[in-house]
Structure 1
């Protein structure tokens, strides 16, 4: 019986493991943040609560600028209810190739890793809801599909409890040759 319990616990732990960014190391096209998030971009997204209901839709107009290994990503959100929001990220490549990011509503720093076509960000965001502000954790995954399109899926949680998911589709304008 003891061995069966240990086996079941090990199986449960393996089943709960999440993907690692290195799992995508061979995927193409290769994501370079300073290339993709440079210039003007747009994104369309939605937030779904834990039951899957879409409770908010939004559009984001973004401008990325870079100096060496430091970039600024200025995001301007317009929500389906007409409200607006702005978030300005400062992104810095670290000596080990990882990324750190800060923004006014991010608690501390976002920590990110890139491999192949994928980026995984983990951070805590101050989220205003109905006149109160909550600190929620994001496990944010971005996947470069081609030179123009990136898909983004972020799981939001509080104290380890799943709250919902944000899905975005980023698009860069067509290059005019």
Structure 2
């Protein structure tokens, strides 16, 4: 299996790709994003491929669950093609090829069905100021992190050159890309 890019050396800033959902506006040198309207079309991806053993996180700057119509959680995971080659659907669960965890479900790359998963339950604890992110470990496993804590494996046997993926729900307005952190 081909290896992920090395995590050795100075980290590039974590920035979002220009290909993002139509309800998202980027700012601050593409290190911040804000949902402008609607409940869908709010996918964000990293501009550069992820490096192995590096955490790619975002900080939730506003988390407002007061609107009871909103039932979808923040989704996150990876895409396995460069973002500029993708046509983005209305939500990340319909994105192919992608591995996405959203609440109590996960959709693995190469599949169109959602499967039960307990890992995503950690996303229900998010609040204003929380950080959430993904990392690919040396065993090619996708790990979920919430507030700096490893919450478990989302997927196994990832291919090389994955890109971090975030699907921002309607009750999250601005998010900020945090500096990448080398793990393990």
Question: What is the TM-score with the length of structure 1 in the denominator?
Answer: 0.29
| Structure label with greater radius of gyration | 1
Which has the larger helix fraction? 1
> Highest relative contact order (Cα 8 Å, sep 6+), 1 or 2?
2
Which has the larger strand fraction? 1
Question: What is the TM-score with the length of structure 2 in the denominator?
Answer: 0.28
